[in-house]
Chain A
């Protein structure tokens, strides 16, 4: 049944979406909404849905509460409900200005806003995984799959039926006929796996601001790719003059110093792909962020060779984002543009500041690869 309120509701949703769209740039800029909460929901503040009133600042206000606790004891976060005393009408207190949007919804909003095409996966037929599924119990099978419990149950049943079971001496001896085995079926599953390989230059010239940009941008890339693929693996590589693989935490927070040898990262990336992600069954997305200040022209040449021969043929798309920094020369992107810029599966983007993240996401994901 259609309710009157559905009109208001859909209008509200439109506004919310509109707001998100209009403010998307702002969120990305400020990086204020990147906390994943719970399973995969994220709360997005929508500033103007709360119609502004003249009111007191909450923090000064405080309030009266009820319950145990010593003076000075902290109240658990979230338990405090700063209200404007009472609100007329429903009197439900002050609503937090948040609308819950699941990551999936967020991704579709992102996709809609940036007009991102859906990703064309690599040949679905090729990427097939066989999965073993245990579907039932049989009377025959390999011993290794013997179902212990069922076997003994069966034996117990038989003994009771034959009258040989003695509750005082509950000894159960399964015979050949009692044995039960798990049976399985092989299922062919078309699988679309994706791996994102993040590489970041952590040489001295990459400051906190640059890293913040990388962090925000990777969040959005991550959100989008997860929206497109069921399982997404992530690998993280940091490099200065040498490259090493790290966990996510380290990736975003390390600050190294020293020179930059981009080839070291590409080499590691290549090795990871070779070892773990056969291109036939994986959609591979390397993203590399740097300030574009490579050690030497020699090393750059080495990088390009590696890209041409090993990486580009294997991956869906290779993306390079160059974050502007006060120290870097920014030469690397020029070199890439000249040499591999024409390749279909190379996306290059220069990110001047936080404002540019928006455009850069479009550069990276706009090709639909």
Chain B
């Protein structure tokens, strides 16, 4: 069970918190608790929460984490939950310097949770909410059985990423063009042309006009799309329109809510980790470190920020970008004058002593997410300094290799990896496809094909939720393809796009 801090750690916490506050960090009240490694692994497996609904995939996480820990491959230092108050867990057996580092890091996260725009809509009572979800699911398990519930969760998880990551921040309005069209098509039914007024009753008898009117209306009803506009929140669409049992509805709603809760953490991974690393580094090196702790601190800090060629370390990229921004705004390296300066020497010596850096990064952590962060602040100099490159798979040599170091390409690749979490954008286009109650999804193809076997399996899972045949239109090698699963058979046919 979680233990509260020892007196010594509580003292350290007060010290670190004092530093954090004096640097201007603004956070929810933060509660630290101590856990043994297996408990910490458990909480980490539960996505940071002490209580989740029963599902084998937590067990899978746990297996990996605990094996990693036992073999000395990996170790979780810290966990922090976006909640008010923030809960953070420390590993009981950590050395004091590690605890200090972690605390400083945690205050960075807490500040980010509280202030970053993308977290504004998240439930700050998620700790309780998660426990409620767990209870609800357990109750359903008692009623309908673990097998059924788990199977359903498995299938629903397959669709978990089909939510509209931006919907908390914008309102998608009905399409104005369509409304106009409808307006226009609202003509009266006039029947055949009548030259002689006295013939009207014969040429266009009332019954005929009636039937014509009905026909037009039917046409219109048919034309009326369902959903009216393509909908990215596939889970919501299913909740509203799929023939779900009450328990299925509830479970799906829970999964959707949790997916939305976690979404901002994915959208701001680089920023969030970068911010926390920036602050642990600043607090530790400027304030909290004692002389005998420096080596251990340096060791662990560099471990956190280490890079490998094939994987981008969000901690590293984040902290370096913040530092770069800070330096640029300190020295006034921004704006028209800076952009237009071609003189390399002048640029190198550029320093207007503005001292705006700290202020700027606080502003950045408030308004940006990873995509806009990279888009706005990644400069060619930075990319070069950090030795960023694009890699790809070489079929001939059957290996991954460095493809390019050109700034544009690096940036575009990075952005495309981050956009929509690097996941394909898939929308519900028609909930009554072919007027047969089938579901039609469309993949907005942006140059990359979907993983075919995964798509087929996902479609299969979708079908079990929708219960009618499901279709997915995508492109394979440049050609339009419609994948279909009707509950029995997988089919594929070419379509014109």
Contact = CB atoms under 8 A, between A and B. Distances in A.
A66 B423 contact: no
Nearest to A12: B59
**Which of B56, B57, B388, B405 counts the most chain A CB atoms within 10 A?**
B56
B310 A80 contact: yes
B399 interface: yes
A9 B62 contact: yes
Contact of A81 (B55, B310, B421): B310
A86 interface: yes
B313 interface: yes
Interface string A51-80: 111111111111111111111111111011
B316 A84 contact: no
B429 to A, nearest CB: 14
A235 to B, nearest CB: 35
A81 B269 contact: no
A169 interface: no
Interface in A223-270: none
B413 interface: yes
B482 interface: no
Contacts of A57: 448-452
Contacts of B57: 8, 12, 51
Interface stretch (A21-29, A89-97, A143-151, A347-355): A89-97
B51 interface: yes
Contacts of B387: 66-68
A85 B417 contact: yes
A5 interface: yes
Contacts of B39: 3
A177 interface: no
A129 to B, nearest CB: 34
B310 A84 contact: no
Interface in B264-313: 265-267, 269, 307-313
A65 B312 contact: yes
B91 interface: no
Given A53-B454, A64-B388, A66-B309, A73 B423 contact: no
A33 interface: no
A75 B399 CA distance: 7
Contacts of A84: 421-423
A4 B49 CA distance: 12
A86 B472 CA distance: 24
B38 A59 contact: no
Nearest to A100: B67
Highest count of chain B CB atoms <10 Å: which of A5, A57, A63, A76: A5
Interface stretch (B155-163, B187-195, B325-333, B351-359): B155-163
Interface stretch (B40-48, B105-113, B203-211): B40-48
A84 B269 CA distance: 13
A174 interface: no
B227 interface: no
B262 interface: yes
Contacts of B404: 71
Contact of B458 (A12, A54, A76): A54
A13 B42 contact: no
A87 interface: yes
B388 A65 contact: yes
A31 interface: no
A55 B450 contact: yes
B311 A80 contact: yes
Nearest to A79: B310
A321 B39 CA distance: 51
B413 A63 contact: yes
A56 B419 CA distance: 13
Interface string A83-117: 11111111101010001100000000000000000
Contact of B59 (A8, A69, A81): A8
Contact of A91 (B158, B269, B309, B391): B269
B230 interface: no
Contacts of B46: 5
A7 interface: yes
Contacts of A55: 161, 423-424, 450-451, 454
A15 interface: yes
Given A5-B62, A57-B448, A86-B267, 16 more contacts: A5-B46, A53-B160, A53-B161, A54-B161, A54-B450, A60-B393, A61-B448, A62-B400, A63-B310, A64-B388, A64-B389, A66-B313, A74-B394, A80-B311, A86-B266, A88-B421
24 contacts: A3-B42, A9-B58, A11-B59, A51-B154, A51-B157, A54-B161, A55-B454, A56-B423, A61-B448, A64-B417, A65-B308, A66-B309, A66-B317, A66-B387, A67-B308, A67-B309, A71-B389, A76-B310, A79-B311, A85-B421, A85-B422, A88-B259, A88-B262, A91-B266
The 5 closest A-B pairs by CB, nearest first: A85-B422, A12-B59, A80-B310, A8-B59, A62-B392
